[in-house]
Structure 1
Amino acid sequence: MGQDSISANTLTASGVYRARVCNQAQLAYDAIAEWLEGRAPVPDAVHAVAGIEAQLRMQDHLAQLLRSQRQAQGALEFESFQPRAVFDGSRIADIRLQEHNRARQLIEEFMIATNGCTARFLAAHGGASLRRVVRSPERWARIVQVAHGYGVELPAQPDGSKLEGFLARQRRLSPVSFPDLSLEIIKLMGSGEYVVERAGEQAIGHFGLAVQDYMHSTAPNRRFPDLVTQRLVKAVMAGSPPPYSLAELAELAVHCTGREDAVRKVERQMRKSEAALLLHDAIGQHFRAIVSGVNAHGVWVKIFTPPAEGRLVGEIPELRLGQLLQVQLISTSVERGFIDFSLQRSQ
């Protein structure tokens, strides 16, 4: 959507215009990432289109500049546990973790930059918009306590740069348990939401991305808030009245936030059921695992191959988050997405 100028790691200008997407190469994330990271030759799909190799190299360079700028401003780098089913026809053949690689970073940074440009475009033309926000954490005191447990002192007031420093330290020191720490901090930060913001108002911003102006605008083919934004932009460009009143936008903000929460619940349930289905024939087998959750409701563990999470049942001694264990698969329920393990006792 935007034609941007980047100088000294700073986005200095942007333009908004109508365009049609024509996919000439149909590139794949993993193949492009292996090439950009120097682990594979240039993919055939890149060779097939003249000039695309230089274009991708330039885009990768600019994306890393944008990424460095956000990190300097306190953008938070999490690592989530995202297993994805691998199908052989209609049969689940495996489950693998989705890698956050260089190609995904390229798309992510350009989307963040474009969404910011779109938000500022609508604000500059005096219109209301549907912003995507993550507020400054109200449970910051609890985040401070978590960091203290790792020997790190965070300031009393929310500070994205300090929090990212803590996360980077733990990612380096304990990469195996870092996804579980990431999830704990994400929960304490609170969910994102859609809100209506009008030109001239103080923007709430997105704490996790360390950006002040942010909205969803780059995927109108699969996400309704992006379609709303596209309609707002097109109305401005055509000099037409806004397609939504403030009251309608406010109602849409609440509706879209609720639907997004529901989608996340369905996705989590599907991932659990996929894992339960794959592991059903492995009941009785033993696995290497790590403690991924300890609370009043029980103890959860993650096994590494295949990557899956389940509950620890039976007699359980005192365990700590991140502790490595040997467990035995006891039962699965595909319908409920339940996977139960027991602690393997020393012989």
Structure 2
Amino acid sequence: MESSELAQRLLDFVRRPEYRPMKPRMIARRLGLEDEAAAELKKVIKQLAARGQLRYGAGHLVYWVPPGPRPHHIVGVFRRTEAGHGFVRPQETSQDGRGAGDIFIPYEKTSDASTGDTVAVRLLPSRGALGPRGEVVEVLRRETHRFVGTYTDSAGGPMVQIDGNLFTAPIQVGDPGPRRLQSGDKVVVEMVRFPTPWRWGEGVVVEVLGPPGKPGVDTLMILREFDLPERFAEDALEEARRQAEAFDDSDLGGRLDLTGLTTITIDPADARDYDDAVSLERLERGHWRLGVHIADVAHFVKPGTPLDREARHRATSVYLPDRVVPMLPETISNALASLQPHKLRYTKTVFLEFTEEGVPVHMEVHRSAIRSHKRLAYDEVDAFFAEPEPWRRRWGAGLCDLLLQMRDLARRLRRRRAAHGMLEMHIPEVQVDLDRQGRVTGAHVVPHTESRKMIEEFMVAANQAVAEWLHRRGILFLRRVHRPPSLFKLKALREFVAELRLPNAGGSLEGRGWLQQLLDRTAGRPEEQAVHFAVLRAMQRAVYSPEEEGHYALATDCYCHFTSPIRRYPDLTVHRLVDEVLAGRKPRTDPTELLVLGDHCSQREQRAEAAERELTRLKLLAYFSSRIGEEMDAVITGVEPFGMFVQGLRLPAEGLIHIDSLTDDYYRFDRAGHTLTGYRHGNTYRLGDVVRVAVAHVDLDRRELDFRLVERAKSDKARPQRPEIPRRHRRRPGR
């Protein structure tokens, strides 16, 4: 192929509206180029980049440069501060992860941008060493047009003050019409004209949620704020009902009959959807045969159907403190697909054979049917592991011996993963306890117990095995990608560790070995919490992508999510590919479509986590609003020039200790060490330290919680083995 012809094909491809930046090898695959032409493609990309028609971005991604008079604009995400000015974080960073840094946007240059909007910025002349400055010249994409706020009817007319600090001034909403509104009511506003430094914002009230103290209003606020769907479309519900009517639990449908195999489910006690079951057999030569049986959601949710449309749009189930927003209707998620005990259920089964030491030697994938023999809860299994004999009389010797064998295998698998470089960080999840009105009554720790570790190991093994099975067949699929931390962040981490004066704190930053040694070396030491927080800050967020970039924390080059198709759409797409392969067909996958789908699923996952955090925050703010002065132990989760962020150990409420409230000294901020240190007395407060705080101020509308420092925790009794903060992962860690 001539270079000019290849260049034109390439330009036609990258100019498509659906094109997303990708690496040259992905472009070559998408264009169907063989080895020689693929090598030529790289030369053509460089030539076009030299002409200004293409450019390379972070990670060697290829971007199209549209023609026009605005080549110097920077695209990024805008964030407004409480004072009114803003910052824009550029979408691209350099190879070391540093990037150009946030761009400061003076208040009068923010235009009508709102927090979360994607904007185009023109750089302005810098003033001294304050860093880059700019002005917003265009809002490219709105994060949202709907906001939740408090309605007031004042002399200036009806207004809504948007919750939080998104907008410095209230929004004019005009006559609410026939709606019965009272000052103080929580409402949903559709923005008609976003505010600027020179004019008021205008909106219209589209929904009245009710007074803020009314039970359920806080949950409605979060559902609207994050645009979480409450109901399924009627055609999706009707299709789910048809699936239920058509399902025949006496028909195996040509599947492998595993109904005689002893399979069990182990889940939280309050779980309603059981999407995985496990089995274990001992083979000749001491080998193990682990069976991981996953609900066959793909049998009920076909591509292009109303059910698929809903599942794809939602992409994940959302677990709020007082309700679940499911990805699929309950007819599917809690009935047809759920692996309920003693009921015939369709599954995808992964059989994994291990040597006695836990080395994988063989795997098989089947379309199967099972009958779960027993539903167990994590707490029950942990109680059995602690004291087996009473449970033997209750469950019988067969089930008890099976559980002990499963624990034995899981421990061996875990030791092997640790030896291969898996990063071992487990921070217990703290869940708030609610009464029937949805009000906080307390909280409890969900520890990372033996039973949870066991199921996690089996799910990770199945996920990795399926990913490698698809990869060997040359199939493109949505991977679970966890990219390595940038060299810039690792250097910052090592500087922080050096400030702690730990022995042997040096080491190469190129591999994960230094990180794991650091975690192991600080286990049980006073510095443990500080190091764990610093390592977490250095890590990147795991995402979904077809790119072959591996999973850094799990120390594997090939990983996907397969084990939870009831609640995660990426798992469902992997199940469909497995069906195609088992049917003898080569799946057709479009790299660009997979990139777009991966971005969508990653964003939905992040939205779900943010919604859960924000509703928990709202409920905790309401709880503490009547408890001003109450004291608690807390861990420092962030150190900034203006103060320290802390999070309670008993209740996971995060708030600020403002530096102005530290009246015993004048404090200086050390960015490298994440510390505030007093000039006169030398008192130092560091990331991960445990301190005693008291509730000082609660602002429910601005969603702010201020603490005052009482004292540093006096003994290790106040220091938990791990900082008791909510896990950022879903309830089934590692799956």
Q: 1:42 to 1:15 in 2, by over 3 A?
A: farther
Whether the aligned pair in 2 keeps the contact of 1:79 and 1:178 (CA below 8 Å) is no
Whether the aligned pair in 1 keeps the contact of 2:580 and 2:587 (CA below 8 Å) is yes
Whether the aligned pair in 2 keeps the contact of 1:73 and 1:210 (CA below 8 Å) is yes
Whether the aligned pair in 1 keeps the contact of 2:440 and 2:620 (CA below 8 Å) is no
Question: Per-residue deviation at 1:307?
Answer: 4.3
Runs ≥4 residues deviating over 6 A: none
Whether the aligned pair in 1 keeps the contact of 2:410 and 2:457 (CA below 8 Å) is yes
Q: Any residues of structure 2 matched to 1:308-323 within 5 Å, and which?
A: 308-313=653-658, 314-316=660-662, 317=665, 318=677, 319-323=685-689
Aligned counterpart for 2:482 among listed residues 134, 138, 150 = 134
Q: Where does residue 162 of structure 2 map in the other structure?
A: none
Q: 1:193 to 1:310 in 2, by over 3 A?
A: same
Whether the aligned pair in 2 keeps the contact of 1:14 and 1:117 (CA below 8 Å) is yes
State the SS of the aligned residue for 2:351: coil
- Give per-residue Cα distances to partners, 1:115-172, cap 9 Å, x unaligned: 0110111122221111111122213222322332332424233322321121122222
- Segment of structure 1 superposing worse, 73-82 or 238-247: 238-247
Whether the aligned pair in 1 keeps the contact of 2:533 and 2:637 (CA below 8 Å) is no
Q: Where does residue 296 of structure 1 map in the other structure?
A: 641
For 1:27, give the aligned amino acid: L
Aligned counterpart for 1:26 among listed residues 375, 399, 407 = 375
For 1:340, give the aligned amino acid: D
Corresponding position: 1:282 with 2:627:
yes
Question: Per-residue deviation at 1:15?
Answer: 1.0
User: Partners of 2:351 and 2:519 in 1: how far apart?
Assistant: 33
- Give per-residue Cα distances to partners, 1:86-122, cap 9 Å, x unaligned: 2333443211222111111011111110001101111
Q: Where does residue 2 of structure 1 map in the other structure?
A: 350
Whether the aligned pair in 1 keeps the contact of 2:428 and 2:448 (CA below 8 Å) is no
Q: Where does residue 304 of structure 2 map in the other structure?
A: none
User: Partners of 1:40 and 1:51 in 2: how far apart?
Assistant: 12
- Segment of structure 1 superposing worse, 323-332 or 133-142: 323-332
For 1:69, give the aligned amino acid: R
User: Partners of 1:98 and 1:295 in 2: how far apart?
Assistant: 30
User: Partners of 2:505 and 2:559 in 1: how far apart?
Assistant: 30
* TM-score normalised by structure 1 residue count: 0.87
Aligned counterpart for 2:363 among listed residues 11, 14, 21 = 14
Q: 1:183 to 1:337 in 2, by over 3 A?
A: farther
Question: Per-residue deviation at 1:2?
Answer: 1.8
State the SS of the aligned residue for 1:287: strand
* TM-score normalised by structure 2 residue count: 0.43
Q: Where does residue 200 of structure 1 map in the other structure?
A: none
- Give per-residue Cα distances to partners, 1:310-340, cap 9 Å, x unaligned: 2113422542234443321123345655322
User: Partners of 2:396 and 2:576 in 1: how far apart?
Assistant: 33
Aligned counterpart for 1:108 among listed residues 456, 470, 473 = 456
User: Partners of 2:703 and 2:383 in 1: how far apart?
Assistant: 34
Question: Per-residue deviation at 1:72?
Answer: 0.8
Q: Where does residue 525 of structure 2 map in the other structure?
A: 173
Q: Where does residue 516 of structure 2 map in the other structure?
A: 164
Whether the aligned pair in 2 keeps the contact of 1:294 and 1:300 (CA below 8 Å) is yes
- Segment of structure 1 superposing worse, 112-121 or 145-154: 145-154
State the SS of the aligned residue for 1:27: strand
User: Partners of 2:389 and 2:499 in 1: how far apart?
Assistant: 44
User: Partners of 1:297 and 1:267 in 2: how far apart?
Assistant: 27
Aligned counterpart for 1:64 among listed residues 400, 403, 411 = 411
User: Partners of 1:339 and 1:322 in 2: how far apart?
Assistant: 19
Whether the aligned pair in 2 keeps the contact of 1:4 and 1:13 (CA below 8 Å) is yes
- Segment of structure 1 superposing worse, 266-275 or 129-138: 266-275
More helix by share: 1
- Give per-residue Cα distances to partners, 1:258-283, cap 9 Å, x unaligned: 22222222222223223323333322
Whether the aligned pair in 2 keeps the contact of 1:133 and 1:206 (CA below 8 Å) is yes
Whether the aligned pair in 1 keeps the contact of 2:433 and 2:444 (CA below 8 Å) is yes
Q: 1:345 to 1:75 in 2, by over 3 A?
A: closer
More strand by share: 2
Aligned counterpart for 1:344 among listed residues 690, 707, 710 = 710
Corresponding position: 1:211 with 2:556:
yes
Largest Rg, 1 or 2 = 2
For 2:563, give the aligned amino acid: T
Q: 1:310 to 1:35 in 2, by over 3 A?
A: farther
Gaps of 5+ in 1: 198-202
Whether the aligned pair in 1 keeps the contact of 2:497 and 2:531 (CA below 8 Å) is no
Question: Per-residue deviation at 1:79?
Answer: 3.0
For 1:332, give the aligned amino acid: V
Question: Per-residue deviation at 1:60?
Answer: 1.1
Whether the aligned pair in 2 keeps the contact of 1:136 and 1:158 (CA below 8 Å) is no
Q: 1:310 to 1:30 in 2, by over 3 A?
A: farther
User: Partners of 2:633 and 2:584 in 1: how far apart?
Assistant: 62
Whether the aligned pair in 1 keeps the contact of 2:636 and 2:688 (CA below 8 Å) is yes
- Give per-residue Cα distances to partners, 1:236-266, cap 9 Å, x unaligned: 1112352643332222112112222222222
Identity of matched residues, %: 27
Q: 1:297 to 1:100 in 2, by over 3 A?
A: farther
Gaps of 5+ in 2: 1-348, 666-676, 678-684, 713-735
User: Partners of 1:40 and 1:277 in 2: how far apart?
Assistant: 43
Q: 1:81 to 1:294 in 2, by over 3 A?
A: farther
State the SS of the aligned residue for 1:165: helix
For 1:92, give the aligned amino acid: V
Q: Where does residue 541 of structure 2 map in the other structure?
A: 191
Q: 1:179 to 1:240 in 2, by over 3 A?
A: farther
Q: Where does residue 447 of structure 2 map in the other structure?
A: 99
For 2:351, give the aligned amino acid: Q
User: Partners of 1:315 and 1:28 in 2: how far apart?
Assistant: 46
- Give per-residue Cα distances to partners, 1:162-199, cap 9 Å, x unaligned: 2112112222213xx645532331221211122214xx
Q: 1:292 to 1:335 in 2, by over 3 A?
A: same
User: Partners of 1:159 and 1:242 in 2: how far apart?
Assistant: 35
Aligned pairs, how many? 337
For 2:362, give the aligned amino acid: A
Corresponding position: 1:246 with 2:591:
yes
Q: Where does residue 499 of structure 2 map in the other structure?
A: 149
